[in-house]
Amino acid sequence: MTVLLGSHGHVASPLQTPLDVSLLWVELTAGETWDHTPQVGQHVAWCFVQRGDVDVSGERLNRELVIFEEGDGALYFHAVTQCAFLLGSNVKHSYELVLGTHSVHTSEQRLIAGQRRIAEIGEALRASGKL
């Protein structure tokens, strides 16, 4: 297990972030089990299985992104085959999120501003011949 951001147990990432988030890269051999208890306050967790098959609470995952139910309980992973996955956990935002087609924002106004800025960048790239 490699800690990319945040911490896990006594291991901490050398990268600093203002967010209360943990991002872990985990590789397991076939038959191996591993559990993760999120840091205190981290009630949101997700996982992307990049390679192989892993069982999490009776669900077999392969090349897919899952978002776990909110909570602070441990997550238990069992490698059905040799596998590798990215696991993230973080503190839930204190505000509702607005989903765009390719982005997440904190308000409808920020979503519109972000989409406008992307369009401006696209126009500038086309005008310069780079796109």
pLDDT of residue 20: 87
| Segments of the chain with pLDDT less than 70 | none
Domain span at residue 104 reads 98-127
The string over 29-53, giving b where at least 16 C-beta atoms fall within 10 Å of a residue's C-beta and e elsewhere, is eeeeebebebbeebbbbebebeebb
Same domain, 70 and 104: no
**Are residue 75 and residue 14 in the same domain, yes or no?**
yes
Task: For residues 116 and 85, state if they share a domain.
Answer: no
Tell me the C-alpha to C-alpha distance, in Å, between residue 88 and each of 84, 110, 121, 130: 13, 25, 31, 35
Give the pLDDT confidence of 57-82 residue by residue, as tens digits.
889 999 989 989 899 889 999 999 99
Q: End-to-end distance of the chain based on CA atoms, in angstroms? A: 40
C-beta of residue 45 within 8 angstroms of C-beta of residue 75: yes
**Is the domain of 13 the same as that of 58?**
yes
On whether both 116 and 79 belong to a single domain, the answer is no
Q: What is the pTM of this model?
A: 0.73
Residue in 83, 68, 77 with CA at minimum distance from that of residue 29: 83
Question: How many independent structural domains does the chain possess?
Answer: 2
